C-alpha cells in the first residue's frame, strides 16, 4: 500500500523531471499525413518539348524537328490511401510554332491521362511524387502551303516524377518532369503546378 501511495505522490515530480526546465514545454504541432479518402484537384503550366525523326509525319515534311511550347494540365482524383491517389487529367500541348521546320505545317496536341499519383513525404517541407499510367492523345497536323489537315491519335504509357512541397499539407506545390510519347513523337514536359486535397 505504501508503494502505491509513494508512486501516486511522486508522479508529478517525475513528469516535471522529463522537461528541460522542470516545467511543461509547449511543442509545435506536427503535420499529419492526409488520411485515405477525399478528392484531389490540381492544375499546372507546362513547357513541352516535342521531337521527331525524319518521315514521322506521313505525307508531310521529311525533316526531323524539335519544338518547345507552353501548355497546361487540369485534373483531379481520389485518394486510395494516405499517399496514393487515382488521377484523371486533361492535357493541352500547344506545339504550333514549327512552320519553318515542317515545310509549312504546324501541330497541336491534347489528351486525357489516367494514372496513379504517389507521394513519398521526406519531411513536412518537401517530398517526392511520381505518376505512372496511360494517356489517350490526339495530334492534329494543320497543313500550310497547300497541305491538308490530318489527325493522328493513339494511346501510350506516360510517367512523371518531381518534387512536392508541403506533402503533408492540404495544398502542395509540384515541380516535375514528365514523359508523354505519341507513337514516334517524343514529348517531354517540365511542369509547375498546385495540388489541393479535401480533408
More confident residue, 28 or 157: 157
pTM for this one?
0.72
How much of the chain exceeds pLDDT 90, in percent?
Answer: 43
Q: Specify if 80 maps to a domain.
A: yes
- What grid cell was written down for 80? 486510395
**DSSP SS3 for 72:** strand
- Residue 88 gets the label, from left (phi > 0), alpha (psi -120 to 50) or beta, of beta
**Mean of pLDDT values over 40-57:** 79
Q: What is the pLDDT of residue 31?
A: 54
Q: Specify if 79 maps to a domain.
A: yes
Q: Specify if 108 maps to a domain.
A: yes
**Element holding 11 (H helix, E strand):** helix 2-17
Q: What is the pLDDT of residue 88?
A: 97
- What grid cell was written down for 64? 526531323
Instruction: Name, in order, each residue with C-beta under 8 angstroms of 111's C-beta and a sequence gap of 6 or more.
Output: 90, 91, 93, 135, 136, 137, 138, 180
**Mean of pLDDT values over 51-62:** 57
Sign of the Cα pseudo-torsion (97, 100, 101, 107, in order): positive
Number of domains in the chain: 1
Q: What is the pLDDT of residue 34?
A: 58
More confident residue, 8 or 147: 147
Q: What is the pLDDT of residue 100?
A: 44
Count of CB atoms situated within 10 Å of the CB of 143: 16
Question: What whole-number distance in Å separates Cα of residue 133 and Cα of residue 178?
Answer: 12
Q: Specify if 68 maps to a domain.
A: yes
Q: What is the pLDDT of residue 99?
A: 44
**Residue found under cell 495544398:** 171
Q: Specify if 5 maps to a domain.
A: no
Question: What whole-number distance in Å separates Cα of residue 115 and Cα of residue 128?
Answer: 16
The tens digit of pLDDT for each residue in 136-146 reads: 998 776 655 55
Q: Specify if 25 maps to a domain.
A: no
Q: Specify if 167 maps to a domain.
A: yes
> What CATH number does the domain containing 128 carry?
2.40.160.20
Question: What whole-number distance in Å separates Cα of residue 2 and Cα of residue 70?
Answer: 78
Query: How would residue 37 be classed by pLDDT, with cut points 50, 70 and 90?
Result: confident
Question: What whole-number distance in Å separates Cα of residue 42 and Cα of residue 79?
Answer: 13
Query: How would residue 27 be classed by pLDDT, with cut points 50, 70 and 90?
Result: low
- What grid cell was written down for 191? 511542369
Q: Specify if 191 maps to a domain.
A: yes
The tens digit of pLDDT for each residue in 79-129 reads: 999 899 999 999 988 655 544 455 555 667 889 999 999 999 999 999 999
Distance of CA 137 to the CA centre of its chain: 18
Q: Which domain, by its residues, includes 51?
A: 36-197
The tens digit of pLDDT for each residue in 128-186 reads: 999 999 999 987 766 555 556 667 789 999 999 999 999 999 999 999 999 998 887 78
Instruction: Look at residue 2 and tell me whether its pLDDT is greater than 90.
Output: no
Amino acid at each position: 500500500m505504501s508503494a502505491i501511495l509513494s508512486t501516486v505522490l511522486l508522479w508529478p515530480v517525475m513528469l516535471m523531471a522529463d522537461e528541460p526546465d522542470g516545467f511543461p514545454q509547449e511543442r509545435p504541432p506536427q503535420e499529419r499525413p492526409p488520411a485515405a479518402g477525399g478528392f484531389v484537384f490540381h492544375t499546372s503550366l507546362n513547357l513541352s518539348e516535342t521531337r521527331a525523326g525524319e518521315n514521322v509525319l506521313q505525307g508531310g515534311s521529311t525533316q526531323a524537328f524539335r519544338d518547345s511550347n507552353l501548355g497546361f494540365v487540369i485534373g483531379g482524383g481520389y485518394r486510395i490511401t494516405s499517399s496514393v491517389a487515382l488521377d484523371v487529367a486533361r492535357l493541352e500541348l500547344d506545339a504550333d510554332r514549327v512552320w519553318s521546320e515542317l515545310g509549312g505545317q504546324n501541330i497541336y496536341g491534347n489528351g486525357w491521362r489516367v494514372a496513379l499519383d504517389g507521394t513519398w513525404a521526406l519531411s513536412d517541407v518537401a517530398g517526392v511524387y511520381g505518376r505512372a499510367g496511360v494517356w489517350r492523345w490526339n495530334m492534329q497536323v494543320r497543313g500550310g502551303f497547300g497541305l491538308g489537315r490530318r489527325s493522328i491519335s493513339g494511346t501510350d504509357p506516360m510517367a512523371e516524377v518531381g518534387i512536392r512541397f508541403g506533402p503533408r499539407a492540404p495544398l502542395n506545390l509540384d515541380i516535375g518532369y514528365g514523359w508523354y510519347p505519341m507513337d514516334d513523337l517524343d514529348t517531354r514536359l517540365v511542369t509547375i503546378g498546385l495540388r489541393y486535397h479535401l480533408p
